[in-house]
Amino acid sequence: MNWNLFVTELVAGVSHGSVYALIALGYSMVYGILKLLNFAHGDIYMVGSFIGFGIITVFGGPTNLHVNVWLMLFLMFFCAMLGGGLLGVMIERFAYRRLRNAPRIAPLITALGVSFFLENAAQLVLGAQYQSYNAFSWTNSAIALEHFGLPAHAVISYAQVIVIVGAVVLMIFLTLFVQRTQLGKAMRATSFDREAAAMMGIDVDRVIVATFFIGSALAGAAGVFNGIAYQQVWPYMGFQAGLYAFIAAVVGGIGNLPGAVLGGLVIGLAQAFSIGYLSSTFSDAIVFAILIAVMIARPSGLLGRAAVQKV
Amino acid sequence: MTEPTDPNTPRVGVDEWVASHEQRRSRRAGIFGVVQRQFERVPSPAFYLGFGIVAALVPVLTSNGYNIRVGFDTLLYMLLALGLNITVGYAGLLDLGYVAFYGFGAYGYAMLASPQFGIHWDTLAVIPLVVVATALLGLLVALPSRRLLGDYLAIVTLFFGQLFVTVYQNGEAMSVLGFTRKYNVTNGPNGIPNIDNFHAFGFHIGSLQAYYYVALVAFLAVLTAVYLVDRSRTGRAWKSLREDPLAAELMGIPVNRLKLIAFACGAGIAGLAGTMFAALNTAVFSADFDVPTLIIVYAMLILGGAGSIGGVIIGAVVVNVSLEVLRTPGHATWVFYVLIVATLVARMRPWRWLAAIVAGTAAFGFAVHAIVSAAWPRGVHGQPAVGGVLGSGLRHWVVLPANPLTIGNVAFVLLVLAVLGVTLLHGWVQKVALIPTLYLAAFVWENRLVVEPSITRLILVGVILIVLMNARPQGLLGTSRVEIV
Half-sphere exposure of B320 (CA within 13 A, CB side): 23
Question: Between A120, A291, A309, which is nearest B156 by CB?
Answer: A291
Nearest to A57 by CA among A227, A219, A235: A227
> What is the amino acid identity at position A152?
A
Question: Between B162, B412, B448, which is nearest A284 by CB?
Answer: B162
The SS3 call for residue B113 is strand
Nearest to A185 by CA among A210, A149, A219, A160: A210
Question: Between A102, A109, A281, which is nearest B302 by CB?
Answer: A109
Q: Contacts from A168-172 at CB under 8 Å and sequence distance 24+? A: A168/A18, A170/A22, A170/A218, A170/A221, A171/A21, A171/A22, A171/A25, A171/A261
Question: Between B88, B162, B295, which is nearest A243 by CB?
Answer: B162
Higher pLDDT, B454 or A92: A92
The SS3 call for residue B12 is coil
Question: Is the Cα torsion angle B157, B158, B163, B166 positive or negative in sign?
Answer: positive
Task: List C-alpha distances in Å: B368 to A162, A205, B363, B373, B441.
Answer: 50, 41, 9, 8, 14
Residue A191 falls inside a structural domain: yes
Q: Is the predicted pLDDT of residue B37 greater than 50, yes or no?
A: yes
Question: Between A106, A124, A240, which is nearest B412 by CB?
Answer: A124
User: For B171, phi and psi rounded to 5 degrees?
Assistant: -85, 20
- What residues contact B460, with CB distance under 8 A and at least 6 apart? B322, B323, B326
- What residues contact A261, with CB distance under 8 A and at least 6 apart? A21, A24, A25, A171, A252
Question: What's the pLDDT tens digit per position in B387-421?
Answer: 777 777 787 888 888 778 888 889 999 999 999 99
Question: What's the pLDDT tens digit per position in B184-213?
Answer: 777 777 778 877 778 777 777 778 888 899
pLDDT at B3: 46
User: For A139, phi and psi rounded to 5 degrees?
Assistant: -65, -25
pLDDT at B77: 94
Count of other CB atoms within 10 angstroms of residue A101: 8
Of the listed ranges A294-308, B19-33, B296-310, B399-413, the one predicted with least confidence: B19-33
Give A-chain residues touching B469 at CB under 8 angstroms: 99, 102, 106-107, 109-110, 113
Instruction: Please judge whether A285 and B158 are an interchain contact, meaning their C-beta atoms are less than 8 angstroms apart.
Output: no
Task: List C-alpha distances in Å: B349 to B21, B353, B358, B476.
Answer: 25, 7, 13, 21
Question: Which ipTM was obtained for this model?
Answer: 0.84
> What is the amino acid identity at position B187?
N
Chain B contact for A114 (CB, 8 A cutoff): yes
- In angstroms, the separation between the Cα of residue B112 and the nearest Cα of chain A is 25
Chain B contact for A123 (CB, 8 A cutoff): yes
Half-sphere exposure of A55 (CA within 13 A, CB side): 24
Instruction: Please judge whether B150 and A104 are an interchain contact, meaning their C-beta atoms are less than 8 angstroms apart.
Output: yes
The secondary structure of residue B87, as a DSSP letter, is: I
Instruction: Please judge whether B155 and A239 are an interchain contact, meaning their C-beta atoms are less than 8 angstroms apart.
Output: no
User: For B478, phi and psi rounded to 5 degrees?
Assistant: -65, 150
Q: How confident is the model at residue B17 (pLDDT cuts 50, 70, 90)?
A: low
Count of other CB atoms within 10 angstroms of residue B11: 11
Count of other CB atoms within 10 angstroms of residue A275: 18
- What residues contact B389, with CB distance under 8 A and at least 6 apart? none
Q: How confident is the model at residue B350 (pLDDT cuts 50, 70, 90)?
A: confident
Q: Rounded distance, CA A65 to CA A70, Å?
A: 12
Residue A2 falls inside a structural domain: no
Mean pLDDT of A48-77: 81
Residue A129 falls inside a structural domain: yes
Instruction: Please judge whether A102 and B473 are an interchain contact, meaning their C-beta atoms are less than 8 angstroms apart.
Output: yes
pLDDT at A132: 78
Angle at B54 between CA B48 and CA B55, to 5 degrees: 85
Angle at B48 between CA B45 and CA B51, to 5 degrees: 155
User: For B113, phi and psi rounded to 5 degrees?
Assistant: -145, 60
Higher pLDDT, A9 or B135: B135
Instruction: Write b or e for each residue in B470-484: b if 16 or more Cβ atoms lie within 10 A of its Cβ, otherwise e.
Output: beebbbbbbeeeeee
pLDDT at B1: 40
Q: Is the predicted pLDDT of residue B439 greater than 60, yes or no?
A: yes
For chain A, how many structural domains are there in total?
1
Count of other CB atoms within 10 angstroms of residue B288: 19
pTM of the model: 0.87
Q: How confident is the model at residue A64 (pLDDT cuts 50, 70, 90)?
A: low
Segments making up each domain of chain B, as ranges: 43-325, 331-451
Percent of chain B with pLDDT over 70: 88
Give A-chain residues touching B452 at CB under 8 angstroms: 124
Task: List C-alpha distances in Å: B47 to A67, B222, B263.
Answer: 69, 16, 27
Q: Which residue does chain A place closest to B171, by CA atoms?
A: A281
Chain B contact for A6 (CB, 8 A cutoff): no
Interface of A with B in 91-110 (CB under 8 A): 94-95, 98-99, 102-110
Instruction: Please judge whether B452 and A124 are an interchain contact, meaning their C-beta atoms are less than 8 angstroms apart.
Output: yes
Half-sphere exposure of B173 (CA within 13 A, CB side): 5
> What is the amino acid identity at position B150?
G
> What is the amino acid identity at position B164?
F
Q: Are strands B203-204 and B199-200 parallel, antiparallel or unpaired?
A: antiparallel
Instruction: Please judge whether B166 and A284 are an interchain contact, meaning their C-beta atoms are less than 8 angstroms apart.
Output: yes
pLDDT at B417: 93
Give A-chain residues touching B292 at CB under 8 angstroms: 116
Nearest to B294 by CA among B150, B123, B124, B102: B102
Instruction: Please judge whether A108 and B148 are an interchain contact, meaning their C-beta atoms are less than 8 angstroms apart.
Output: no
Of the listed ranges B68-77, B224-233, B385-394, the one predicted with least confidence: B385-394
Residue of A20, A93, A124, A254 best to disrupt the B interface, most CBs of B under 10 A: A124
Q: How confident is the model at residue B266 (pLDDT cuts 50, 70, 90)?
A: very high
Give B-chain residues touching A299 at CB under 8 angstroms: 147-148, 152
Question: What's the pLDDT tens digit per position in B124-133?
Answer: 888 899 999 9
Instruction: Please judge whether B463 and A98 are an interchain contact, meaning their C-beta atoms are less than 8 angstroms apart.
Output: no
Q: Kindly tell me the burial class for residue B305, based on how many C-beta atoms sit within 10 Å of its own C-beta (0-12, 13-18, 19 or more).
A: buried
Question: Between B152, B167, B461, which is nearest A250 by CB?
Answer: B152
Angle at B255 between CA B251 and CA B256, to 5 degrees: 155
Instruction: Please judge whether B412 and A309 are an interchain contact, meaning their C-beta atoms are less than 8 angstroms apart.
Output: no
Residue A88 falls inside a structural domain: yes
Strand blocks (E) in B5-104: none
Give A-chain residues touching B159 at CB under 8 angstroms: 243, 247, 287-288, 291
Q: How confident is the model at residue B2 (pLDDT cuts 50, 70, 90)?
A: very low
Q: Which residue does chain A place closest to B459, by CA atoms?
A: A117
Give A-chain residues touching B162 at CB under 8 angstroms: 240, 243, 284
pLDDT at B452: 84
Question: What's the pLDDT tens digit per position in B319-335?
Answer: 898 888 888 888 888 88
Q: How confident is the model at residue B485 (pLDDT cuts 50, 70, 90)?
A: very low
The SS3 call for residue B174 is strand
Instruction: Please judge whether A281 and B167 are an interchain contact, meaning their C-beta atoms are less than 8 angstroms apart.
Output: yes
Q: Which CATH number fits domain B43-325: 1.20.1660, 1.10.287, 3.40.50, 1.10.3470?
A: 1.10.3470
User: What does A28-55 look like in DSSP terms, one character per residue?
Assistant: HHHHHHH----TTHHHHHHHHHHHHHHH
Residue A223 falls inside a structural domain: yes
Nearest to A22 by CA among A271, A245, A287, A188: A245
Quote the domain boundaries for residue A175. 17-237
Q: Which residue does chain B place closest to A87, by CA atoms?
A: B417
Angle at B229 between CA A106 and CA B89, to 5 degrees: 5
Percent of chain B with pLDDT over 90: 18
Question: What's the pLDDT tens digit per position in A121-173?
Answer: 999 988 888 887 765 656 666 666 656 666 656 667 788 888 889 999 999 99
Strand partners of residue B200: B203
CB pairs < 8 Å spanning A and B: 127
- In angstroms, the separation between the Cα of residue B170 and the nearest Cα of chain A is 7
Q: Rounded distance, CA A155 to CA A9, Å?
A: 9
Give B-chain residues touching A291 at CB under 8 angstroms: 155-156, 159
Instruction: Please judge whether B144 and A296 are an interchain contact, meaning their C-beta atoms are less than 8 angstroms apart.
Output: yes
Give B-chain residues touching A95 at CB under 8 angstroms: 466, 470
Of the listed ranges A196-210, A250-264, B99-113, B191-205, the one predicted with least confidence: B191-205
Residue A245 falls inside a structural domain: no
Give B-chain residues touching A277 at CB under 8 angstroms: none
